Structure 1
Amino acid sequence: MEIASLTMRPDAEDTRSAAVEFALTTAFMATVFSLVRWVVGTMPATATARELSMRVAVVSVIIGFVIVGFACSPPGRFSGAHMNPAITLGLYAAGSFPGRRVLPYLLAQTAGSIAAAVLARIVWGSPLSGRPVRWTVVQPGPGWTGASVAVAEAATLMVIVGVMCWMTARRPGWPAAWLVGGLFGLQGALLGTLTGGSANPARQLGPALFSGEVHLLAVYLLAPVAGAMLTGWVAHRLLIPRTRDFGPATVGTTSP
């Protein structure tokens, strides 16, 4: 099977699907930003690093369940509920997502990230844009360089997309939404206070643009895509010998 061309013109169904993806991404990211504002943003100045880690883990676990809810909802089943450009491009590289939908989905997810940041700021006011929340932008912990963050972000998506491709080829009956949501929640809990645990370019884009915190922004945008596409490309050639569709089960994701 050859991967479909990105230049194919989307049809009306593709446009509707991208519109749903925009709505899902906006709602999902607004939920994430709100969780960060109320769980992490209310942490006292005297809080310890352990308390921060616990709060980040709580947010990440909740986000994992939120991913499952969005993916299993009727709109999620209609669009696939990627809510993550890296997932869209990874599935495209795996030959499991039509090329004509890639650009509309990427635009929808980008716009959704920005719209969600604006919406959260309107709803929650200045606490969202002030410290320590800073529009909920993520940054790496002490000692983490751009290279180490890039490796961690890419590896995270390699694992997640690899699991998705393996399930599609070998265990199509498994609950993909639950497994993928669990993986995103786990990576956020483990890496949130280390690398920032973004694992989603849309997770970082809107907050970075509004906060002005663009340190390592290119890493957070490109590394997950590189990891996802590399794994998808390998799976397309070694694991998935014929066309298969991921269908409604997948996957948005992010972390605090």
Structure 2
Amino acid sequence: MSEQGLLKRSIAELIGTYMLVFLGTGSVVTTVLLVQGSDSIAGNAFFVGIDIAAWFAIGISFAIAIIAMIYAFGHISGTHINPAVSIALWATGRFPAKDMLGYIVAQLIGASLASFTIVAILGSRAVDTGLGATAMFDGVSYGQAILCEAVATFFLMLTIMGSAVDKRAPAGFAGLAIGLVVAADVIVVGNITGSSLNPARTFGPYLADFLLGGSNLWWQFPIYIIGPIAGAVIAALLYDYVADAKENN
């Protein structure tokens, strides 16, 4: 990471999170608009009109945004674009507390601006789709949702540690590895919790939805704080133990 000041690095985080949420949740909004009016299969609430092909497309959209931003800003801010990642790096002693707080504020602002931009482009029909807000699907309990987000984020953070944080990793492949694991997470657990993995990614759509007359899903927000942060911190600590990462960096 470069020695840029906190303000410049935070701006990079804001832009990176903006692109992540705009392209990622934008793909959800577009998908819902395309399938709007589709009926669910009787007796199968798991199917809501978005099939596995659509989840694949959504996952790839998130992956492309992440890959692009890692290669654009990785050398400037590290491209956390996720409060859970910033907190995990702080928890393992790699990131100062003041920088972590600056990054998280920037990430939340970037995510919110992205959601409001989608509405500015598509109008109220975007709000009617839910703006790509993450939520528990039918038959999923609160505890199951937290566990799901923790496991999926564990995979993400483990990949970040091994491909980007550990200096022994082959150079140049971090963006691809991280983007692809996010795509896989979205494809597998998208229809369970929406596959957030990222408190900021959930915060932006929740805020815009709430302020613009859409759904009020704030009661589910703890899922997307507890799950991702727990998964990320456990992954970072476990990687340090298994790989002796600190001793070799």
Indicate conservation of the 8 Å contact 1:94/1:234, yes or no: no
User: Do residues 188 (structure 1) and 186 (structure 2) align?
Assistant: yes
Indicate conservation of the 8 Å contact 1:94/1:165, yes or no: no
User: Do residues 17 (structure 1) and 9 (structure 2) align?
Assistant: yes
- One-letter identity of the residue aligned with 1:83: I
Shift of 1:42: 1.9
Shift of 1:37: 1.7
Q: Structure 2 unaligned runs (5+)?
A: 41-46, 210-215
- Counterpart of 1:173? 170
For the structure 1 residues 55 and 93, does the alpha-carbon distance in structure 2 shift closer, same or farther, using more than 3 Å as the test?
Answer: same
- One-letter identity of the residue aligned with 1:157: T
**How many percent of aligned residue pairs carry the same amino acid?**
20
Matches within 5 A, 1:98-117: 98-117=96-115
For the structure 1 residues 222 and 24, does the alpha-carbon distance in structure 2 shift closer, same or farther, using more than 3 Å as the test?
Answer: same
Matches within 5 A, 1:140-219: 140-167=136-163, 168-169=165-166, 171-173=168-170, 175-211=173-209, 212-219=216-223
Shift of 1:198: 1.0
Shift of 1:47: 4.7
If asked which structure has higher relative contact order (CA below 8 Å, sep 6+), I would say: 1
What SS does the aligned partner of 1:193 have? helix
Compute the RMSD of aligned alpha carbons.
2.2
Shift of 1:181: 0.5
Shift of 1:72: 0.9
- Counterpart of 1:65? 64
TM-score in terms of structure 1 length:
0.81
Shift of 1:196: 1.6
What SS does the aligned partner of 2:224 have? helix
- One-letter identity of the residue aligned with 1:240: A
- Counterpart of 2:21? 29
For the structure 1 residues 12 and 72, does the alpha-carbon distance in structure 2 shift closer, same or farther, using more than 3 Å as the test?
Answer: closer
What SS does the aligned partner of 2:50 have? helix
Indicate conservation of the 8 Å contact 2:26/2:131, yes or no: no
Distance in 2 (CA, whole Å) between partners of 1:106 and 1:227 is 17
What SS does the aligned partner of 2:222 have? helix
Q: Structure 1 unaligned runs (5+)?
A: 1-10, 245-256
Distance in 1 (CA, whole Å) between partners of 2:152 and 2:167 is 21
In the alignment of these two chains, the number of paired residues is 231
- One-letter identity of the residue aligned with 2:90: Y
Distance in 2 (CA, whole Å) between partners of 1:213 and 1:47 is 23
Higher deviation after alignment, 142-151 or 233-242: 233-242
For the structure 1 residues 187 and 12, does the alpha-carbon distance in structure 2 shift closer, same or farther, using more than 3 Å as the test?
Answer: closer
Shift of 1:170: 7.8
- Counterpart of 2:212? none
1:174-216 per-position Cα deviation (integer Å, ceiling 9, x unaligned): 5111111000011001111122211111111121123222242
For the structure 1 residues 41 and 221, does the alpha-carbon distance in structure 2 shift closer, same or farther, using more than 3 Å as the test?
Answer: farther
